Amino acid sequence: MIRAIAIDDEPLALQVLQHHAARMNNISIEHTFTNASEGLQYTHAHKPELVFLDIKMPDHNGLDIAIAIPAATHVIFTTAYSQYAVQGFDINATDYLLKPISYQRFVQACAKVEERLSFLSVSATITVRENGNWIRIPLSQLLFIQAKGNYLHLVTTTSTHLIRNTLQEFTSHLPHTFLRVHKSYIVNTAAVDVVEYNQVIVSGNKVPVSVQLRSALLTALHL
């Protein structure tokens, strides 16, 4: 069962999502929010697996909210404005639903989330392909991930791996302990030693923290 919430300033739009979800047996919309800030706070506190998120809202821009959502939480944008599609996928959205949302498209989007969630089980390892070889990395040893173009640097306690992948795809398979702190960095919050104004220290490595994501990091670290 996919645990989800929905954030939209239009109550009717929230009703449509709830109606679609009620017809399925693999998703539950636990709460809905017309206030984006309240929805974001709930996301950090209760860690749902999926957030349906409107983009154009009076109090916030959904694109900004999406950046602050934990990396392991999937985002499906729901909006009437198709021009935001490219930006939405750049930010790490799993899918983009254009209003009015049909039941068929809703099902397709949820299926993407279910597929990605099944990629990583509760086991404490993740398997990556590097130079033609499959390598299993214990998540407890994965310190942070840096995106460079179409490649990712995976820095662990013992080594660094270079794999061809996007930050959007790779981080969708990571647990909630991994948090986006910068547009090019994901950090294992369990490995953070020092928090400074614009960076964190992770086992001696300096990882930049953007101003927009600093608050989410402090919340995740209970600071």
Span 147-182, pLDDT tens digits: 998 899 999 999 999 999 888 888 777 877 888 999
Alpha-carbon distance values, 152 to 82, 85, 184, 186, 188 (Å): 29, 24, 9, 11, 15
Expressed as residue numbers, the domain containing 164 is: 125-220
Q: Distance (Å, rounded) from C-alpha 148 to C-alpha 100?
A: 37
If asked whether residues 110 and 8 sit together in one domain, one would say: yes
Chosen domain end from 61, 91, 119:
119
Number of domains in the chain: 2
Q: Calculate the average pLDDT of the chain.
A: 87
| pLDDT beyond 90 at 62 | no
Chosen domain end from 119, 148, 171:
119
Q: For residue 38, what pLDDT is reported?
A: 94
Q: Residue with structure tokens 């460079």? A: 148
What CATH number corresponds to the domain at position 37?
Answer: 3.40.50.2300
Chosen domain end from 60, 91, 119:
119
State if pTM tops 0.85. Answer: no
If asked whether residues 169 and 208 sit together in one domain, one would say: yes
If asked whether residues 13 and 114 sit together in one domain, one would say: yes
Q: For residue 190, what pLDDT is reported?
A: 83
If asked whether residues 90 and 134 sit together in one domain, one would say: no
Alpha-carbon distance values, 121 to 45, 64, 173 (Å): 22, 29, 9
If asked whether residues 38 and 94 sit together in one domain, one would say: yes
